[in-house]
Amino acid sequence: MVGVTSMPFLVAVDRIENRYEHVTGLIFFYDEMRASTREMQQEIADQRQQIAEGTEIRAENERLRKMLAFRRIHPRFTLMPAEVIQHASGSLTIDRGSVHNVRESMGVISPKGIIGLITHVGPLTSNVATLQSPDCKVDAMVKWNRVRGRVNGSGNDLSALCTLDYIDLKDKVREGDEIVTSPHSVFPSGYPIGIVDGNPPPPKEGQLSQSVGVLPSADPFRVDEVFVLLSTTMDVKELEANMASHSPAERVSDLIDTETIQERLAP
């Protein structure tokens, strides 16, 4: 009687115990899964960080290889590599200064084209006025017909365009023309500056010259490493023209180039 009477209660208690064990097992399993998920998420985050670092290292190595190749194909340039440490308001700050023999008005270039001119030199850092800065003015010419002008910065940080000003009204400049440095620039003649963006607007009455927009070949705000142009030696054409205009005694001294690029090429 007791056994028959207590059987339903024993069955009920047994079911409750089984369900309790099942629920507690689910809770413990959930905690383990959550901890495992957290570990996996941390591992994924670490792997993503490693992939990003590896991508940056590969990109940096590629840039450095291009810079080394650039130095090899321009042996007449004396170049000092520098790292860009700050971008602000049309100017760059590089990690080279007076202790590295950097001086004001030296040119700063990249393998793609001109970056700008050094305007202030500190002991360990220097400021570079880029082509977008109104403080940077570079004598330039159209490559195919040697039409002369001067590249000026727009002073607009929102636009990469600069302008080629003081073009004679009778001279022809077309969209897509390549703009390079002129022989009167502080940079070596023929070095890339940019590409003409659009055709010149129709001249107005009384206008003495025309201007056209120029898209720089090198974006100064996308570079991490640049070259400071310390000096340059004459190429064959420059040397022949220079020696032809001097006496025999002067020609010997001209073979030894001790002047900086600013002293030799400045207007």
User: Are residue 89 and residue 171 in the same domain, yes or no?
Assistant: yes
Q: Are 171 and 165 in contact (CB under 8 A)?
A: no
Same domain for 225 and 136? yes
- Number of domain units in the chain: 2
Domain of residue 34: give its range.
Answer: 1-73
Split at pLDDT 50, 70, 90, the class of 228 is very high
Whether residue 260 lies inside any domain: the answer is: no
The Cα–Cα gap between 196 and 180 comes to: 11
Give a yes or no: residue 105 inside a domain: yes
Domain identity same for 106 and 227: yes
Is residue 128 domain-shared with residue 213, that is, in the same domain? Answer: yes
Q: Does 214 lie in the same domain as 101?
A: yes
Residue 264 has pLDDT above 60, yes or no: no
State yes or no: pLDDT of 174 exceeds 80. yes
Pair (97, 33) in one structural domain: no
Q: Give dist(CA 137, CA 172) in Å, integer.
A: 22
The percent of residues in the chain predicted with pLDDT above 90, rounded, is 26
The DSSP output letter for 259 is: S
151 and 45 within one domain: no
pLDDT at 208: 84
Confidence of residue 207 (pLDDT cuts 50, 70, 90): confident
Contact between residue 92 and residue 127 where contact means Cβ atoms under 8 Å apart: yes
Which residue(s) pair with 73 in the sheet? none
Does the residue 259 lie in any domain?
A: no
Instruction: Encode pLDDT of 88-139 as tens digits.
Output: 777 899 999 999 999 998 999 998 899 999 999 999 999 999 988 888 889 9
53 in a structural domain? yes
In a domain, 255, yes or no: no
Please indicate, yes or no, whether residues 69 and 154 belong to a single structural domain of this protein: no
250 inside domain: no
Looking at the structure, tell me whether residues 66 and 90 fall in a common domain.
no
Do residues 52 and 82 share a domain? no
Q: Examine the domain organization and report whether 82 and 54 are in the same domain.
A: no
Contact call for residues 234 and 212 (beta carbons, < 8 A):
no
User: What's the pLDDT score for residue 22?
Assistant: 65
Q: E strands of the chain, at which residues?
A: 77-88, 91-94, 107-110, 113-121, 126-130, 137-142, 148-153, 162-168, 178-181, 192-196, 209-216, 225-232
Q: Does one domain contain both 92 and 60? A: no
Whole-number average pLDDT of the chain: 78
Q: Look at residue 261 and tell me if it is in a domain.
A: no
